[in-house]
Each structure stands twice: as C-alpha cells, then as structure tokens.
Amino acid sequence: MLPFSIKEYKKRLDQTKKSMLEKGIEVLIVTNPANMNYLSGYNSWSFYVDQMLIVIVDEDQPIWIGRKMDANAAKATTWLYHENIIPYPEDHVHSKTKHPSEFAAQILTQIGQSNRRIGLEMDSYYFSVQSYECLKRNLPNAKFSDASLLVNYVRIIKSDQEIEFMKRAAKIVEIGMQTAVNSIQEGVRECDVVADIYRDLIRGTNDFGGDYPAIVPMLPAGENTSTPHITWTDKKYTNNQMVIIEIAGCHQRYHAPLARTVSLGKPSQEAMDVSKIVVEGLNAALELVKPGTTCEELELAWSKVISQHGIVKESRIGYSMGLNYPPDWGEHTASIRRGDLTVLEPNMTFHLIPGLWFDHYGIEISESFRVTETGCEVLTNFPRELIVNENYNLQV
C-alpha cells in the first residue's frame, strides 16, 4: 500500500536525522499525523487517540506506538518492520488512570533511550499538555526540547512523486469547483451543493480517486462572504447573492486548494471592481515566483497593487501546503507575508489566496502553485475571475 518507494522514505528519514543532529536532538517523538505519514507511510483515521512515531538518530527505522486496535493499520500502510510496531493496550484509551505516553516512556526506558535529548512537537494539534507532563514524569533523566516544525521543514521541498500527487489533486479540485459553480443556483440549498462537491472530490477521475481533504468545503454566502471560514447551512441561495467557494482536491493525502467567488445574477459594480483588483494583485505575485525570491517579496507585489486602490490587507496571502490531515492542509512553515524571508526553492508548493473581506461582502480568488527551476507552475486550470453563474458554461 506504500505510495512511495522505500528509498524515498529512507531519504526523508536521513534528512530528518540530519536536522535532529543540527539541533542537538537524539530522539524525536513525532505526533503530527502528516509527519508520521511522511516518514513511515502510516495512514489511518486514528489521530483522535494518542499515537506517535519515534525517530532515533542511531536506529535504521522509526518505532510506531499507537492503539492496539490500529497496529494492523501500521503493518498495512508502513515500511516498518513488524517488531518496530508496538501497540499500547486498549485500556489506555481515554483512561483516567493510564496514559499512552506512560507506555511510550516505558518502551524508551526498556530500549535504553531514557536519558537522551528528546525533541517533541510541542505545537502540534495532536500533542497534549497531559502527554508532555506524563513523558517528563516518567523520563526524569531525559532532556526535552521543542522540535515542533522539524519534520515540517524537511517536507517543504517536494519530491517529483509528491508533485505528481498534487497535480492529480489539482485535477480533482477542478472537477469539484466546476460542480460547485454548476450547483449554486437560486433556490438550491447550501448543504446540497456541498454534497455534490464532496461526491466529486472523493470520486476523482477515471484514472485516480480522491481522498478526504484536511479542511471541509467553505462556502460563505451573502453577507457571510465578509468572513472567510464559514462552512455551510441548509438555507437556499437567492438571486443577486455572492458565494465564496474554497475547497481542495486531495490524493494520497496531498492537497491542491482552490478558491473562487460566484455571483448569482449580475454582481454590483463594486464587487466587479474589487475582483479585478484581487486578480491583478494575484497575477503580480505569481509573476515574481522563481527560485531566489522571498515570500515577503510576493506579498509586497500584492500590496503594491491593492494600495494603489486605497486597500490595506493585514493578513498573510498564502502559505506552504501539501501533505496533511484535519484540521489544516497548510504545513505551518513558510507564509507569504511581510517579514517572512523564506527563499523560494524548486518544488516548494504554496496556496496563494489573496482574499479581500469587507463589512458586508468579500472576494476570494486563489491558486495553488509550484516553484519551478525558472519560475512558477500554477497547478490548476480554472478561470481566474469573478464567476457570474448565469453566463458560465466552461467544461472541465
């Protein structure tokens, strides 16, 4: 079931160990499911309970520790030897008296790793204060440090196979976006549109299927377009209403997000003008993408455009993305914003989403792109404009 060669997994592991040594870390406890997947292939909806991948600098393979019920998933989806798959008993799940991190500490002690320098993903959604306190209590001779984004930064430059999966995800999101545009009609319920979108995001193409995206479809409508992260209701769309669509195709856990804005009926002149500003700024940023450019320079190109129209945007306009699990498809590393001096390199991938939100409406038009050897490759092919559904007949 491995989506990548064992050679690629070993290369990722070697890069991770190199970063560990640079930071003085001998043992890395990985709890972020995307990082677990990246290093081992592990892929299961089990991140709602404690689980971890332990990387030891002088061991050939990581150790997977997770729920006993999920051990067979580790055997089915990883490249690890079965003896490196160590499940904790079921009575540790959501227990008031036992904790999986206590079990993990016992394993580390048994294999002689209890007094080493241990890195933890302290800012991970999936690593609790309770887990941290349990590890400290049971490994009193260990020296702990924060390694929250260590693997994330290893992931920031994609392999050719990763890029291929993201291109497949881009084909899937094109289909999902077309479905959304076609389905958003006066009198149709928002939830029914989302059902159509999910159907096609999961169905994918005849050649490859889709996976569940790390974020649900976000479809704010009407005045709710003034805020970007509203999902959907069971209300019916009405004429002369704006709708923002932000979705992502997903294949082998790799994402290609895409956002567009639809107008039911003729949009206001103000909305048309703002959409053109968004596209102009988006294009200006994309034109600067090439190796050696910084994330900050992309944001400055965008800001220069909107400032000419008297508009100021404080939030970032993009972020590194790719492999992930709920609740986010972003990698939490580079952001396209002022002050981020991350230098672009080939096969970095970003979601560039320079939306503008006002008191009563908003416009989002985004692109996912790859940094190439000489410039930029936009992953999706979809009209980069405010979409007026009464005149829209594009066939994907």
- Domains of the chain and any CATH numbers: 6-155 (3.40.350.10), 160-389 (3.90.230.10)
The H or E element that residue 295 is part of is helix 295-307
CB-count burial class (<10 Å; 0-12, 13-18, 19+) for 333: middle
What one-character-per-residue DSSP string does 308-321 give? Answer: TTT----S--EEEE
What is the residue-level pLDDT of the chain in tens, covering all 396 positions? 799 999 999 999 999 999 999 999 999 999 999 999 999 999 999 999 999 999 999 999 999 999 999 999 999 999 999 999 999 999 999 999 999 999 999 999 999 999 999 999 999 999 999 999 999 999 999 999 999 999 999 999 999 999 999 999 999 999 999 999 999 999 999 999 999 999 999 999 999 999 999 999 999 999 999 999 999 999 999 999 999 999 999 999 999 999 999 999 999 999 999 999 999 999 999 999 999 999 999 999 999 999 999 999 999 999 999 999 999 999 999 999 999 999 999 999 999 999 999 999 999 999 999 999 999 999 999 999 999 987 444 333
Q: Check if the beta carbon of residue 74 is closer than 8 Å to that of residue 64.
A: yes
At 361, give phi and psi (nearest 5°).
Answer: -165, 170
d(C-alpha 227, C-alpha 242), whole Å: 12
Copy the structure tokens of residue 87. Answer: 């499940």
First to last CA, the chain: 30
The pTM of the whole model exceeds 0.85 = yes
d(C-alpha 35, C-alpha 53), whole Å: 9
